[in-house]
Structure 1
Amino acid sequence: WASLFQKAGAKYVVLTSKHHDGYCLWPNEHSLGYNSFDGKANRDLLGELDDAVRKKGMRFGLYYSLYEWEHPDYPKNVLSYVNNYMMPQFKDVVQKYRPDIIFSDGEWDRNSSEWRSEDFLAWLYNDSNAPIDVVVNDRWGGETRFKHGGYFSTEYDPNSDLMNEEFLKRGWEECRGIGKSFGYNQNEAIEDYNTAKELIRLLVDIVSRGGNLLLNIGPKADGTIPEIMLDRLLEIGRWLDINGEAIYGTITNRVFQSDNIKYTLTKDRKTLFAFVEDFPEKNLLIRGVNAVGKKPIECFGSDKTLEWENKGSNLIIQVDNSFLKDLQPSPLYVLKVPVLPYLDKPKVQVVIKDKIAEVAVTSYRKENTYKYEIKNSMNGNVSLKYKEPFKVTKPGILHIQAMNENYLTSETTILPINILDKENGLIRKTYFGQLESCAQMVNQSYNEKNIVYNFNIDSNDKDNFGYVFSGYISIDNPGMYKFRTTSDDGSRLFIGSKLIVDNDGLHSKKSVTGSIQLKNKRHSLIVEYFERGGQETLDVSWKGPEFEWQAIPAFILFQKSD
């Protein structure tokens, strides 16, 4: 197994130490003999693979399910299950095998406090035998996925609309099988399996957006890996042998793709890797990219180079017949493009006291120039030079960029300066109960009423509650606006009496968008939200005629109309 995974180009391997059925792949007293060592195999499979993987120079991790289907204490006596079984067993596997990665699962059934996840993680990082750089995922309680823990973990959902900037900050990983199942499924036909081409393109798509791919392999009962899985892994490995430089150790470009071309970037940001599906017969156009220097562009797997020229903001690569003639078939071709590195978006701190805001660039570097503008609308042209922290007495939207002649200008940091008056805010009504829809909730009496300035969920509210936010939104730039709610469970958004976003019902985290033409005035705004159980999420954002998706600033929200 370890040799195969190495040939496939894997850098780490994660084994299922115990799944929901409770069967363990290592000897431990808590399993009461229900493990691979005390059973017919009479082998410590976790330990053997651990040794083999590390000898091949790969990192080793383990998957562990917090809950079990058939344990006598679960769910009848959760406290006993966690304290006397799950917690000591989980610690045992960590102490024995010192994993580099821990993939926790089965968390959705309870919140993190019931699983004692904070206690376990405190022990892991302070007292355990695990490596100092041990990495954990985000599955530690019904409320934690995509919010807490280490890296975020998607599952058969690499293009989830739940993804946001936090995924890039933390890192994320898509976990899925080669087919439609985790583990070996004898009922899967060949058409149920992804081709090597599809898997390679999936890998590139995930890496281009800052993620890793954890590809599940399901051995048969005798321990052999099905031929179709073996073939897929070896084909991925052969592609990575040629193109791995564009995958391993790279970072995201600030633009993930243009047209069908996806990108990765070296850590010094001086080399862009462009993943191309096919070459045209004459010129290849790459939008939004300029190359630098005088050297021709390389294509991995070819001994021929390509001439190029910048045309405006685009790159034109000359594709001649001799290059096309010698080109070998590939799921994706990789071009190595020298580029000017870009500057990071400025980090800005806004502190408001006594209706005066102090604005400071916390990432300030003297070799860079910072230009900014503050406007009452979301649209701004960068024009003023930042020299030191400054004060602002009126609300508005800050736009600021970093510039340097040796770098590409940074993306714009956009922040609201929420200097508020007593007229600002929203009226929030809170409801309690086992709700199934917003429509049901608004037909019952509310329990609490207060003034708030955003659409946040109170930290004390976990399950069986709902909110209705009502007020007015002030528009000073007429045009078409889009509104979006991302929620778990349901939500709805109204402008006036018109339902703009219908994201209602019981569901996991989901985004729904709607649009409306708005005039220059205050418009009635209502946002409804409810949470039944599990994870709770509410995010309300908007997009205007001249600005991209962002949170609605508090200074344009009012309790009353004009």
Structure 2
Amino acid sequence: MTRISLFLCAVFCTACIGVKYTPDWTSLDSRPLPKWYDEAKFGIFIHWGVFSVPGFGSEWFWWNWKGAHKANYIAYMVKNYPPGFTYADFAPDFHAQFFDPEQWADVFLASGAKYVVLTSKHHEGFTNWGSPNSWNWNSVDNGPHRDLVADLGDAVRKRSLHYGLYSTLFEWFNPLYMSDKQSGFKTQEFVVNKVMPELHNLVNRYKPELIWSDGDWEAPDTYWNSTEFLAWLYNDSPVKDVVVTNDRWGAGCSCKHGGYYNCADKFTPGQPPKHKWEKCTSVDNYSWGYRRNMMLRELMDLPSIIKDMVYTVSLGGNYLLNVGPTAEGMIPPVFEERLRSIGDWMRINGEAIYATEPWKVQTENATVPVWYTSKGSTVYAIFTANPEKAIFQLSTPITTDKTVVTLLGNPEPLKWAPLHISGLILLLPDLPCTPAQAWTIKLDGVN
């Protein structure tokens, strides 16, 4: 074989194999984001674990009780549990006896969400699958005695929803982690014997399309071996072509490295970030996990959720909305109501959300708040309050003689007239009074 033939063969083989990512951020950050994620726009987050049993304060119950020694958590335990009761004693009461993954998946589908992210392991270390590296501190050996990760994944995928898994890196009171931490993270016993085996186990067994990493901030990515894991994930894992990752892979990585950026919980930028991002937030304003004592006034109402989603998508982000199920495996009815109501709105207005891109401007000072998204040559103006008058003005779009204006959910074109340089005045029909208090104007043929 000639040298030229060998060279052409090498080029051909490289093209067949595809790009190989090396375990460094320059290489890993160059990986294109799988298309499905940006098009999905809306997902459901689920915080569920042993912390759902006490149902008090937040999912950080164990740390607030035994780590931060907060007085209200100590008082709660003194009042409601016998002396000597440990956090591990909560696990047998994590029954999940009413957990019906098919019913959950039906609710998520009805919400209009395109992906679902389940907490496979939170900072307490309890795994919602039978992790071989978490003996007796997992949902198969203890509590529900079932594989929650597998059960929900099967139900979600039946409905063609993408399935992702949240997994924390650190565990508050794991002896291996505490020892590594005491060494100044010069040892890696926890990473080698717990973190990496579990991440590989999750990926190989359940093939998640999204890895939502967390619990990274106490140590650098070099301690976590993050780049080595991501290189394997992108090159050789069973989900290498479809998996999406976030940015929580070590202290200082947030908003700098990873597939897309979370930056911080409930991150709300003032302008479109230059990198794909996601806002994660919770229906319960005070907790991600279930709280027994939550009150209606402490929850996001439907107009607030829709406004928050529209703002996020108009700035190019995805919206990940969290609910916290009970220890019995029920999605509280108030959460289900919120999710189904979002779906009612999305069935009419989802065209202005899914697979859209930010427009040249995101908002304008109209008589009511207006946010823009776009899709090809179509622009969507979403107004998040009920106009008080039938005459409505948009100042930014530049119309042409081919411009067509409609209201999503109403097949008849709207009557409109161009303004002098840019913008238009349009006549709105009688708008229905809906709980979402948000409507979308579709503009075809504008600049």
Q: TM-score normalized by structure 1?
A: 0.57
Q: How many residues align?
A: 332
Report how far residue 157 of structure 1 moved. Answer: 3.1
**Aligned equivalent of 1:140:** 249
The one-letter code of the counterpart of 1:70 is F
- The CA deviation string for residues 461-504 of structure 1, in whole angstroms up to 9 with x for no partner, is xxxxxxxxxxxxxxxxxxxxxxxxxxxxxxxxxxxxxxxxxxxx
Secondary structure, counterpart of 2:165 in structure 1:
strand
- The CA deviation string for residues 223-281 of structure 1, in whole angstroms up to 9 with x for no partner, is 01111101100110000011111111111102111112100000x2x110001222342
Secondary structure, counterpart of 2:410 in structure 1:
coil
Report how far residue 328 of structure 1 moved. Answer: 4.0
1:177 equivalent to 2:282? Answer yes
Report how far residue 35 of structure 1 moved. Answer: 0.6
The one-letter code of the counterpart of 2:151 is E
Report how far residue 292 of structure 1 moved. Answer: 2.9
- What is the alpha-carbon distance in structure 2 between the residues aligned to residue 15 and residue 74 of structure 1? 23
1:22 equivalent to 2:125? Answer yes
Report how far residue 221 of structure 1 moved. Answer: 0.8
Q: 1:46 aligns with which of 149, 157, 164?
A: 149
Report how far residue 210 of structure 1 moved. Answer: 0.5
Secondary structure, counterpart of 1:327 in structure 2:
coil
Cα 1:337–1:173 change in 2 (3 A) is same
Q: 1:209 aligns with which of 315, 335, 349?
A: 315
Kept after mapping to 1: 8 A contact 2:121/2:168: yes
1:150 equivalent to 2:259? Answer yes
- What is the alpha-carbon distance in structure 1 between the residues aligned to residue 414 and residue 280 of structure 2? 37
Kept after mapping to 1: 8 A contact 2:130/2:138: yes
The one-letter code of the counterpart of 1:239 is W
- The CA deviation string for residues 186-229 of structure 1, in whole angstroms up to 9 with x for no partner, is 12211000101110111111011101111111000110111110
Report how far residue 154 of structure 1 moved. Answer: 4.3
Kept after mapping to 1: 8 A contact 2:400/2:446: yes
Which structure 1 residue ranges, 4+ long, deviate > 6 Å from structure 2? none
Kept after mapping to 2: 8 A contact 1:280/1:319: no
Give me the identity figure in percent.
Answer: 36
- What is the alpha-carbon distance in structure 2 between the residues aligned to residue 230 and residue 151 of structure 1? 28
Kept after mapping to 1: 8 A contact 2:272/2:315: no
1:241 equivalent to 2:350? Answer no
**Aligned equivalent of 1:327:** 432
- What is the alpha-carbon distance in structure 2 between the residues aligned to residue 307 and residue 153 of structure 1? 41
The one-letter code of the counterpart of 2:277 is W
Higher helix content, 1 or 2 = 2
The one-letter code of the counterpart of 1:281 is K
**Aligned equivalent of 1:298:** 406
- What is the alpha-carbon distance in structure 1 between the residues aligned to residue 263 and residue 321 of structure 2? 12
Report how far residue 302 of structure 1 moved. Answer: 2.7
Secondary structure, counterpart of 1:74 in structure 2:
helix
1:95 equivalent to 2:204? Answer yes
- What is the alpha-carbon distance in structure 2 between the residues aligned to residue 301 and residue 76 of structure 1? 59
Kept after mapping to 1: 8 A contact 2:273/2:315: no
Secondary structure, counterpart of 1:76 in structure 2:
helix
Aligned-residue RMSD, C-alpha: 1.7
Higher mean C-alpha deviation, range 179-188 or range 149-158:
149-158
Kept after mapping to 1: 8 A contact 2:111/2:344: yes
- What is the alpha-carbon distance in structure 1 between the residues aligned to residue 272 and residue 407 of structure 2? 32
1:275 equivalent to 2:378? Answer no
Report how far residue 312 of structure 1 moved. Answer: 3.0
Secondary structure, counterpart of 1:284 in structure 2:
strand
1:70 equivalent to 2:176? Answer no
The one-letter code of the counterpart of 1:315 is G
Report how far residue 128 of structure 1 moved. Answer: 1.5
Kept after mapping to 2: 8 A contact 1:283/1:316: no
**Aligned equivalent of 1:186:** 292
* Gap regions ≥5 residues in structure 2: 1-103, 181-186
Kept after mapping to 2: 8 A contact 1:13/1:61: yes
Matches within 5 A, 1:476-487: none
The one-letter code of the counterpart of 1:188 is M
- What is the alpha-carbon distance in structure 2 between the residues aligned to residue 278 and residue 311 of structure 1? 22
1:118 equivalent to 2:227? Answer yes
Secondary structure, counterpart of 1:264 in structure 2:
strand
Higher mean C-alpha deviation, range 85-94 or range 127-136:
127-136
- What is the alpha-carbon distance in structure 2 between the residues aligned to residue 8 and residue 261 of structure 1? 23
Matches within 5 A, 1:287-366: 287-294=395-402, 296-319=404-427, 323-324=429-430, 327-329=432-434, 330-340=436-446
Kept after mapping to 2: 8 A contact 1:101/1:134: yes
- What is the alpha-carbon distance in structure 1 between the residues aligned to residue 320 and residue 227 of structure 2? 25
Secondary structure, counterpart of 2:339 in structure 1:
helix
Higher strand content, 1 or 2 = 1
Q: 1:55 aligns with which of 158, 172, 197?
A: 158
- The CA deviation string for residues 332-363 of structure 1, in whole angstroms up to 9 with x for no partner, is 1100001345xxxxxxxxxxxxxxxxxxxxxx
Secondary structure, counterpart of 2:232 in structure 1:
helix
Higher relative contact order (CA 8 A, sep 6+): 2
Choose 1 or 2 for highest CA Rg.
1
- What is the alpha-carbon distance in structure 2 between the residues aligned to residue 296 and residue 125 of structure 1? 44
